[in-house]
Structure 1
Amino acid sequence: MTALRRRVSIGLAATLLLAFAGQDIAQSRTLRDHKPHHAVKAAHAMPVQGIDVSYWQGDIDWHKVRSAGIRFAFIKAAEGGDHLDPKFLENWEAAKRAGVARGAYHFVYWCRPAHEQALWFMLNVPPDADALPPVLDVEWNSHSKTCPGRVSRELALAKMKTMLDAMQAHTGKRPIIYTDPAFHREVLAGEFAEYHFWLRSVAAQPQKIYGKRRWAFWQFTQTGHVPGVKGKVDRNAFNGTERDWERVLKWLMSSR
């Protein structure tokens, strides 16, 4: 290689490094946390960042969200067997137009039959080929005044299996399971190893709470700040590299 070519190559490499550094700095300035926790600091440095939203976030400017560095969003679709999030379809279409990969999630009501909830999800969530896998959100909804918050472990697992099978049949993709520490400890420990998990852990890294559970997504704060979203929003990180994420998206585009 001639001296001139070496200088050009070095100059180009330096330019690219500065560009990527600039992107990282810009992201760190726009994606913030209103109440950061030191124990989840590692999540902020993970390369593929996301959010999860519902009607509580109000009107979202998805183009601003994407420009801020958000790559994916989990959007609330349904609860139980008769509630559709008022903003679901609006967010579903707007996120896609802005170039944000999105998946729909269903919040389980333990008092409702699983087949009713599965049907409700299927009636209201489009089986878009380019969407992320659907999410089954399983927690103890003990604050509900109309729906019992708990059932037996055996019944909870049976309900989940019915819904997971139906969601996969509807979308053609194996669902993701979202859960929190209490439900995982009391119901899910050692179960559903063949599924990807999205774990809530806002005061520790996931392995501190969930042990050896393999996970794909980490919900690390509920007090995030993201341009395009008014107020606080849950922030998430994908457990992988940029290349891993691109492989996921390529697989989605080629599936079905």
Structure 2
Amino acid sequence: MSTRRTAVWTTAAGVAVVAVLAVLVVNGVVWPNRIPAARYDVRGVDVAHYQGEVDWDVLAAQDLDFAWIKATEGSSHTDPRFAANWAAATRTDLLVGAYHFMSFESPGADQAAQLAAEVPATPGTLPPVIDLEFYGAFHEDHPSPKTVRAILDPLVAGITEHYGAAPIVYATQEAYDLYLAGRYPDLPIWIRSVGWTPRLSDGRDWTIWQYSHRDRLPGYDGVEPYIDMNVFAGTRAELEALTLD
């Protein structure tokens, strides 16, 4: 009887510990990737209007080196906070860049033109990023590689021509495997992997790793309580070497 009671209590305690850990993870208090990500010295964030008004002086003071700011989406949308974020962030010591959320529903050349119209090619800023991930119905019904590359190729070409530097491509691991693996060898990869240390399926090295999407930092007050955290696979000087001339 006592052995059975001990087993029950042990099981209950184990379930309780797992439940507490789950709550801590959901609330961003504990995040599994923080330990391996701590190996990298160069850290940064990415933000959009969801973070609301950002106090960039406060945010920049938190051991951060870089920030990418959402600028555009598709061929006609501009993030409503981009202009304010860009103006304030570029006055800090952060290395700052803009990112474009790629649409599967408009031509790549038009999307490149939308980005170029909104984001200045300012020397010393980081190259633009193409955010390649699924959204809406495309989570279940993935576009074909042929369809995506027909959009991505002119988007990359337009950005490279306008800014004088190749863009970085941000991708989830699923999007990377479908559309990027074994291709685009000259484009730096920013990989999203919030559950484990990333290993790209084709053996390629990543340049930036988004290791958490549930961190909390002082300095913003929007509808989204969390902020994405990233590390760069190199030194700050090496990241600075990627900035526009």
* TM-score band w.r.t. shorter chain: 0.7 to 0.9
Aligned pairs for 1:104-119 (under 5 A) are 104-119=98-113
Partner Cα separation in structure 2 for residue 166 and residue 234 of structure 1: 27
Q: Find the residue that maps to 1:164 and give its secondary structure.
A: helix
Aligned pairs for 1:67-82 (under 5 A) are 67-82=61-76
Alpha carbon RMSD of aligned pairs, Å? 2.1
2:162 alignment counterpart: 170
Paired amino acid for 1:122: A
- Deviation of 1:205 (Å): 0.4
Paired amino acid for 2:68: F
Per-residue CA deviations over 1:25-55 (Å, capped at 9, x if unaligned) read xxxxxxxx82433245211342111000000
Q: Find the residue that maps to 1:212 and give its secondary structure.
A: coil
- Tell me if structure 1 keeps the 8 A contact 2:170–2:190: yes
- Tell me if structure 2 keeps the 8 A contact 1:110–1:149: no
Per-residue CA deviations over 1:55-75 (Å, capped at 9, x if unaligned) read 000011111111111110010
Among candidates 189, 201, 206, match of residue 197 of structure 1: 189
Among candidates 99, 114, 121, match of residue 120 of structure 1: 114
- Tell me if structure 2 keeps the 8 A contact 1:133–1:175: yes
- Deviation of 1:155 (Å): 2.0
Evaluate the alpha carbon distance shift between residue 143 and residue 99 of structure 1 in structure 2; reply closer, same or farther with a 3 A threshold: farther
- Deviation of 1:248 (Å): 3.3
Instruction: Write 1 or 2 for the structure with the bigger share of helix.
Output: 1
- Tell me if structure 2 keeps the 8 A contact 1:138–1:179: yes
Aligned pairs for 1:7-46 (under 5 A) are 34-46=28-40
1:18 alignment counterpart: none
TM (norm. structure 1) is 0.78
Partner Cα separation in structure 2 for residue 175 and residue 206 of structure 1: 21
Q: Does 1:51 align with 2:35?
A: no
Paired amino acid for 2:182: G
Structure 2: which 5+ residue stretches go unaligned? 1-26
Q: Does 1:216 align with 2:210?
A: no
Among candidates 218, 221, 232, match of residue 227 of structure 1: 218
Equivalent pairs counted in the alignment come to 216
- Tell me if structure 2 keeps the 8 A contact 1:107–1:138: yes
1:185 alignment counterpart: 177
Partner Cα separation in structure 2 for residue 98 and residue 117 of structure 1: 29
Structure 1: which 5+ residue stretches go unaligned? 1-32
Q: Does 1:153 align with 2:145?
A: yes
Among candidates 117, 126, 132, match of residue 126 of structure 2: 132
TM (norm. structure 2) is 0.82
Q: Indicate the percent of aligned positions where both proteins have the same amino acid.
A: 31
- Tell me if structure 1 keeps the 8 A contact 2:129–2:169: yes
2:237 alignment counterpart: 246
Partner Cα separation in structure 2 for residue 114 and residue 96 of structure 1: 27
